[in-house]
Amino acid sequence: MGLWTDMTALYHLLVTPSVTATTHEERMERFYAPQIPTYDALRERMLQGRPRLLQAAGLHDGGVWIDYGTGTGLNLEGAAEQIPRLKKVYAVDISSSMLQASARRIARHGWRNVELVHADASTWEPPCPADSVTFFYSLTMMPQWQAALHRAHAALRRGGTLAAADFHLCDAHSAFTRWFWRTGLARDHVRPDPAMVARLAELAPGELFEGWAKIPYLPVMRAPYYVFAGRRAAEPA
Ligand SMILES: C[S@@+](CC[C@H](N)C(=O)[O-])C[C@H]1O[C@@H](n2cnc3c(N)ncnc32)[C@H](O)[C@@H]1O
């Protein structure tokens, strides 16, 4: 069962033709809807940096957390012990299928302080300031990522934490690495841009971790990724 699930997930990522759509929402929905049953198992091992991101995200008792591009809610699962002690969690995603999977997870845990938000991160405004905002492998899938970061920064109270982890390409990587991953990820609608990390650091100065993630079943492959966490300045500059 596990192997079959993983192979189906890899098939979706590596073989299924890239979906076409008129809008970004439609594209994300068409891309993810068929993947829901197989999404979690492979992504848990493939998308590296979740514990590091959650540890650095500044989640604290009574705090408000916004998770942008929450998907099936794996970040919520990773923070399951903290969630009951938070005041509120907004789990935002543009794909309704992803949100349905997340809703099942929330129901299983009985969390009453987690609200699912079906919205585009680049336009949605939260009803109250957040103490922590996170993007876990979602920023690179947002065509309007600058606007999404602008919204996230505006949503953050002063001194709050902006944390992101994602695929990473920068000038330090070889031309082949940049070409290989840019081409490979683009078919799955993932578009890493070196400007993302630079913008994160501008908005919330902090710490950057860079690593190479093993890809399950593909032993020679390593995907470059980063985990960033910074704080919005406590006072206006
Ligand atoms: C690779 S998945 C990551 C999901 C989740 N964070 C995880 O840890 O598995 C990227 C997610 O970002 C969502 N997404 C992409 N563009 C978005 C946007 N503009 N606004 C909100 N969510 C978006 C997708 O629907 C998808 O659920």
pLDDT on residue 19: 77
Q: Is the CB of 90 under 6 A from ligand 1?
A: no
Q: In whole angstroms, what is the distance from residue 69 CA to residue 176 CA?
A: 29
Give residue 12's pLDDT: 67
Q: How far is the CA of 143 from the centre of ligand 1 (A)?
A: 12
Q: Give pLDDT tens digits for 151-191.
A: 999 999 999 999 999 999 988 999 999 998 999 899 889 99
Closest C-alpha to 141, from 99, 191, 68, 199? 191
pLDDT band at 63 (very low <50, low <70, confident <90, very high): very high
Q: What is the pLDDT of residues 182-196, one digit of tens each?
A: 998 998 899 999 999
Q: Please give the pLDDT value at position 1.
A: 55
**Model confidence pLDDT, tens digit, residues 180-231:** 899 989 988 999 999 999 999 999 999 999 999 988 887 888 899 999 999 9
121 lines ligand 1 (CB under 6 A): yes
Distance CA 141, CA 161 (A): 21
Helices (H) and strands (E) in the chain, counts: 9, 7
Give the per-residue pLDDT at 68. 98
Q: Is the CB of 75 under 6 A from ligand 1?
A: yes
In the reported structure, the alpha carbon of residue 154 is separated from the centroid of ligand 1 by a whole-number distance in angstroms of 20
151 within ligand 1 shell (Cβ under 6 A): no
| Structure tokens belonging to residue 164 | 């992101």
pLDDT of residue 230: 98
Q: How many C-beta neighbours within 10 Å does residue 207 have?
A: 11
Mean pLDDT throughout 51-73? 98
Residue bearing the CA closest to ligand 1, atom 12: 69
pLDDT of residue 237: 61
Q: Is 148 helix (H, G, I), strand (E, B) or coil?
A: helix
What are 2-60's pLDDT values in tens digits?
Answer: 887 778 767 666 777 677 889 999 999 999 999 898 889 888 888 999 999 999 999 99
Q: 38 CB less than 6 Å from ligand 1?
A: no
Rounded to the nearest angstrom, the distance between the alpha carbon of 237 and the centre of ligand 1 is 32
For a pocket test of ligand 1, which of 24, 27, 50, 93 has the largest count of ligand atoms closer than 8 A to its C-beta?
A: 93
* Cβ(137) – ligand 1 distance below 6 Å: yes
Strand partners, 167: 225
User: Is a pLDDT exceeding 70 seen at residue 139?
Assistant: yes
With a 6 Å cutoff on the Cβ, whether 142 touches ligand 1 is yes
Tell me what pLDDT residue 167 has. 95
At residue 42, the pLDDT reads: 85
Arithmetic mean of pLDDT over the chain: 93
Q: Among 12, 24, 28, 191, which is best to mutate for testing ligand 1, by the most ligand atoms less than 8 A from CB?
A: 28
pLDDT at position 164, please? Answer: 98
The per-residue pLDDT for 18 is: 75
- Kindly list the distances between the CA atom of residue 131 and the CA atoms of 32, 205, 236, in Å, as whole numbers in the listed order: 29, 15, 17
Domains of the chain and CATH, by start: 47-231 (3.40.50.150)
